[in-house]
Every structure is written in C-alpha cells, then in structure tokens.
C-alpha cells in the first residue's frame, strides 16, 4: 500500500520573470491562476499574455483550491518512486499538473475530488499538490 514518500526531493527549477507571485502566494497557502481582463478566460500555467486572446491585460486570481482528478499515474520505478503524478481540473476551469499526496496511492482514481496542499522543494519553494477531500469518485 504505497503512500507518498516524504523523502522524495522535489526538483527545483529557476523561475522566470513574472513567476514569483504564484510561488509567493503558494508560500502563504494560496493557489493562484491567471485571468484575462479582456476575454475573461482563466488559464494555467500563468503567462504574461492570455493564451486565448493574446491580451496582456491578465491578472492573478485566487482559486478555491479544489478540483477533480483528470488523469494520474503512480510511478513505481526511478528516483523518488513511488509517487503519483496527476492532472487536476480546477473548479475554476484550467487543468494543472501536480502530485497527489497524503493518501494510499493505490486508491487514487480519475474523477476523485481533491484539495490543494503545499509542499516545499529542496530550494525552499512552496509548490501546490493535491490530496483527496472525500472517498468516492465521479464519472
């Protein structure tokens, strides 16, 4: 019954200019996405230009931190295994890549409701991950 190994070292990458507010918010326990003031669409990962209309009038927006597992895979070989990589569809719309943590990895299912939790990389950056809110799944 594998669970997330707390010892797994989280890979650090250099942030690009413009990324800091996302990770600063994560350090405060908040998950942000970006919304376009011109077309109203919400996107992820966050960009300086809206990927839907190319407007530069984009703003940070707080999410509820809840969503549904779109897909996942428990990786059982290689460094840090076992771990569960997943895509979660946020209630605000965009899908984001993440890890599912704090649960029996064999019980993870597509359609499962999840909520955000935060873990810290080796370099001290807080990153959003997700953990199940309840048992059961939706279609």
Partner 1 sequence: MTIKGKAYIVGAYEHPLRKAPDHSVAQLHAEVAKGAIEDAGLSRDDIDGFFCAGDAPGANAWSLANYLNLNRLRHVDSTDMGGCSYLIHVAHAAEAIAAGKCNVALVTLAGRPSSEGMSGTMVRVRGVNLPDAPFEMPYNPVTVNLYAMAAMRHMHEFGTTSEQLAWVKVAASHHAQHNPHALLRDVVTVEDVLASPMISDPLHRLDSCVVTDGGGAIIIARPEIARTLNRPRVRLLGCGESTKHQAGGRLDLSYTAAAWTGPRAFEEAGVTPADIQYASIYDSFTITVLLQLEDLGFCAKGQGGRFVADGNLISGVGKLPFNTDGGGLCNNHPANRGGMTKILEAVRQLRGEAHPRVQVPGCSLALATGIGGLIGHRHGSATVILERE
**CA Rg, the chain, in Å?**
16
Using an 8 Å Cβ cutoff, are 90 and 70 in contact?
no
Size of the site for partner 1 (CB under 8 A): 50
Per-residue mark of binding to partner 1, 64-103 (x: CB under 8 A): ------xxxxxxxxxxxx-x-xxx-----xxxxxxx----
* Interface pick for partner 1 out of 4, 32, 35, 43 (rule CB under 8 A): 43
41 phi, psi to nearest 5 deg: -80, 150
**42 near partner 1, rule: CB under 8 A:** yes
Using an 8 Å Cβ cutoff, are 116 and 108 in contact?
no
CA 29 to each of CA 6, 38, 117, 129: distance values in angstroms, whole numbers, following the listed order: 19, 28, 8, 11
3-class secondary-structure state, position 125: coil
Report the nearest approach of partner 1 to the CB of residue 70 (Å).
7
> For residues 106-125, which are near partner 1 according to CB under 8 A?
110-111, 121, 125
Binding interface with partner 1 (CB under 8 A): 8, 10-16, 19, 22-23, 33, 41-47, 51-52, 70-81, 83, 85-87, 93-99, 110-111, 121, 125, 127, 129
């Amino acid at each position: 019954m594998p669970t997330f190994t707390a010892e797994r070292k989280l890979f650090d990458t250099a942030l690009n200019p413009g990324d800091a507010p996302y990770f600063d918010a994560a350090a405060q326990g908040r998950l942000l996405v970006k919304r376009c003031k011109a077309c109203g669409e919400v996107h992820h990962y966050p960009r300086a230009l809206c990927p839907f209309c190319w407007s530069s009038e984009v703003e940070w927006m707080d999410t509820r931190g809840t969503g549904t597992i779109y897909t996942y895979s428990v990786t059982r070989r290689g460094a840090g295994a076992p771990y569960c990589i997943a895509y979660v569809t946020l209630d605000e719309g965009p899908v984001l890549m993440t890890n599912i943590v704090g649960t029996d990895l064999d019980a993870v299912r597509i359609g499962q409701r999840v909520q955000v939790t935060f873990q810290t990389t080796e370099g001290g950056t807080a990153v959003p991950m997700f953990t199940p809110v309840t048992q059961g799944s939706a279609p």
